[in-house]
Amino acid sequence: MLTKAPRGTKDITPKEAYKWNYVENKFREVCSLFGYEEMRTPVFEHTELFKRSVGDTTDIVQKEMYSFKDKGERDITLKPEGTAGVVRAFIENKLYADTQPTKLFYMTPCFRYERPQAGRQRQFHQFGIEALGSDKPSIDAEVIALAVQFFNEVGLKDLAVSINSVGCPTCREKYNAKLKEYLDSKVDVLCETCLDRKDKNPMRVIDCKNPTCQENIKDIPFMIDHLCEDCSTHFDKVKEYLTEMDVNFVVDKTIVRGLDYYKKTAFEIISNDIGSQSTVCGGGRYDGLVEQLGGPKGLSGIGFAIGAERLLLTLENNNIEIKNPQATDIYIATIGEAAKIKSFKILKDLRYNHISSENDHLDRSIKAQFKYSDKINSKFTIVIGDDELANDTATLKNMATSEQTTIKLSEIVKELQDRL
């Protein structure tokens, strides 16, 4: 037990960490191109925040949250997603008082008590953005375009972008009535979960994975066919702007999303190669949430989150290789104690001049030191022994070409600066 990480969590060792750095840097870069700035919020929040935003009837809130009482008897939850905390922080820090929209991005661990499998963990990471303060369809298009450009920049060009509209309270009310009527006629063939959802959150029935339910609700009414004029115009505009930006998308009526705060635009970006956990990115508009969480009236929001683990899996499955940028400039192999002592001065000079360098810490043989130099991918190796110290000269070996040059030890910084 002591040497096993909790189920559903994973260590990110140096063999993987450089890949994380790469995708994180790319995400920062693309967010910055679109004018999004970083927001960091706590890993835990008051449980009530998620109940009110993600929704009381959702699987996340009902089954998946890591909730506990802290020592002060407060109800605390490790964040299962990034949006609620960002919206809470937007209100608390009065970011709405600045010129709008407020365009934020984040990279955060999230926690959901789910059955672990490839691309599904209990601690996972989200890269997300939230654009608050605009209810215009242009920002919906911008948010989707940002996700698409990010995927493009990391080498994923063929992901499927599916969009839908889940309506607003006005059209949803009428649609829900229709939906309930339809589902009431199906009570004999629906599973327990669907029967429960029928009354609490009928649109979620569409998301049921049970094949019998799916077979029996083939002619279920979809929200998008019952949009009010405002929602319909909004959705048309989003499509128009996306088309103008050459974003390939399909309209998928079945997208309902598993969180309660969505209104109007909802979207998912799918990769078909991780098996059942194929949604790499999910998002949508959440007008009304700011007010629902105690903020000012009339402030809209839209965003998405990408599952970082799923992103890395997708890259791997598409054979997109991320190169490890870590390469030591020079390895200093030493023979004897005098050379070892001298190597510390050289190392200090090199590192202060931003030339990365390493030496032996295990009193290895010269052969083993060369082997290690190879393993750490060093660009050059130099051997220093008593003779080199006495003559102030040593042989510098270029590890890629095996070319050897004699250099003055006392000028090693300059010699390397010329070569790197």
The residue (of 104 and 383) whose beta carbon lies closer to ligand HAM is: 104
Which span (217-225, 307-315, 332-340, 363-371) binds ligand HAM, by CB under 6 A?
A: 307-315
Decide if residue 281 touches ligand HAM (CB under 6 A): yes
Measured distance CA(68)–CA(350) in Å, rounded: 51
Decide if residue 280 touches ligand HAM (CB under 6 A): yes
* Cβ-contact 394, 383 below 8 angstroms: yes
Torsion angles phi and psi, residue 268, rounded to 5: -140, 145
Decide if residue 19 touches ligand HAM (CB under 6 A): no
Which span (70-78, 300-308, 319-327, 374-382) binds ligand HAM, by CB under 6 A?
A: 300-308
The residue (of 20 and 182) whose beta carbon lies closer to ligand HAM is: 20
The residue (of 82 and 202) whose beta carbon lies closer to ligand HAM is: 82
Shortest spacing between CB 124 and ligand HAM, in angstroms: 3
Shortest spacing between CB 31 and ligand HAM, in angstroms: 14
Shortest spacing between CB 314 and ligand HAM, in angstroms: 10
User: Applying CB under 6 A, which of residues 155, 258, 288, 385 lies at the interface with ligand HAM?
Assistant: 258
Decide if residue 167 touches ligand HAM (CB under 6 A): no
The residue (of 304 and 370) whose beta carbon lies closer to ligand HAM is: 304
The residue (of 120 and 379) whose beta carbon lies closer to ligand HAM is: 120
Q: Which of 282, 281, 308, 252 is nearest to 107 (CA)?
A: 308
Decide if residue 106 touches ligand HAM (CB under 6 A): no
Decide if residue 234 touches ligand HAM (CB under 6 A): no
Shortest spacing between CB 125 and ligand HAM, in angstroms: 8
User: Applying CB under 6 A, which of residues 36, 53, 58, 82 lies at the interface with ligand HAM?
Assistant: 82
Interface with ligand HAM in residues 359-388 (CB under 6 A):
none
Interface with ligand HAM in residues 112-141 (CB under 6 A):
112, 114, 119-121, 124, 126, 128, 130
The binding site for ligand HAM (CB under 6 A) comprises: 81-83, 112, 114, 119-121, 124, 126, 128, 130, 258-259, 279-284, 303-305, 307, 309-310
